[in-house]
Amino acid sequence: MNTKTILVTGGAGYIGSHTCKALKNAGWIPVTVDNLVHGHRRAVRWGPLVEGDIREQAVLDRVFERYAPDAVIHFAAYAYVGESVHDPARYYRNNVGGTLSLLTAMRRHGCRRVVFSSSCATYGIPAKVPIAESFAQQPVNPYGRSKRMVEQILEDYDSAYGLRYVSLRYFNAAGADPQGETGEDHDPETHLIPLAMDAVLGRIPFLEIYGTDYDTPDGTAVRDYVHVSDLAEIHTRAVAYLCAGGDSCALNLGTGSGHSVWRVVAAVESVTGRRVPVKSSARRPGDPAVLYARVDRAVELLDWRPRFASLEAIVETAWSWHRRLREGA
């Protein structure tokens, strides 16, 4: 395979940085464009960084003219559900407006392949599980709606302009690079596993569990946790698929099974050897009891299977990264 350059928007972020490493290992050159609002300069280690906002056409023009990317992987977005409810304009302006700016630059420079970082939030509250790609998409918050809008835009751009895409609908990304070269570092942190580890380390007084009265085996919400390195791998496969002439599509990314909050707490305690202090609170509005993916389409189309099959394996990589990040261990 000839060396190809891939533009990675948001490549300084959590999933983006892992994907840049996977791209480099697969023989591509990842070029990151990131405004560093939530990303980290230190996370860009496998290709050049262009600091800038994708809503600025001048920034994109410089990138396309200098690097002539063969395809784009588009992560750049705000992703805090609660914030999106309180400030939807920020989310539509950045997530939808930024994507339109990116697609405009792609058309102007003749780049017609994009892998889009979508979300299971586009489904809203499903009537049943596991969730298949054919299920109705009825998002219940502005963040999910912004992702659904972009998926619709991509469908229209494919029909009108021949821009081919793969929309990847993630469930719960978790874990860290097994070699410890990059990992999860959000501010503020909202994800369950790193919050449990912050509670273990005494950085927060307790892990707050929202809802212990769901209709699930132990009363807590069940989610599908997929390792971030597995997500990174399928991005490289999606790029290769598009570069080989593959058709546009949308794929769920998960493990096909779910774990409850209490099960995650138990896994963190088992891996760390320390107790997780917890506090039970009321359910959050709009939180479904159970969410997990049907992933056979990704298996069939891209021959992708998660390598980190167990929750403990995911937690072990997260703990190794998190302890070093927080304690310097």
Band (pLDDT 50/70/90 cuts) for residue 1 is very low
Answer yes or no: 143 catalytic: yes
pLDDT in tens, 86-128: 999 999 999 999 999 999 999 999 999 999 999 999 999 999 9
pLDDT digits (tens, 9 = 90+) for 239-295: 999 999 999 999 999 999 999 999 999 999 999 999 999 999 999 888 889 999 999
Average pLDDT over residues 15-34: 98
pLDDT at residue 329, as a whole number: 53
CA–CA gap between residue 234 and residue 239 (Å, rounded): 9
Closest CA to 83 of 231, 226, 186: 186
As a dihedral over the C-alpha atoms of residue 198, residue 201, residue 205, residue 209, rounded to 10 degrees, the angle is 50
**Interval 186-211 mean pLDDT:** 96
Structure confidence by residue, pLDDT tens digits, 137-158: 999 999 999 999 999 999 999 9
pLDDT band at 328 (very low <50, low <70, confident <90, very high): low
Catalytic position from the list 143, 170, 214, 292? 143
Shortest CA distance to 319 belongs to which of 144, 215, 194?
Answer: 194
- Give me the chain's average pLDDT, please: 96
Instruction: Evaluate the CA torsion angle 205, 177, 290, 141 in order and state its sign.
Output: positive
CA 289 and chain centroid, separation: 21
R_g of the chain, CA atoms, integer Å: 19
Q: Give every CB contact of residue 310 below 8 A, 6+ residues apart in sequence.
A: none
Answer yes or no: is pLDDT of 2 > 80: no
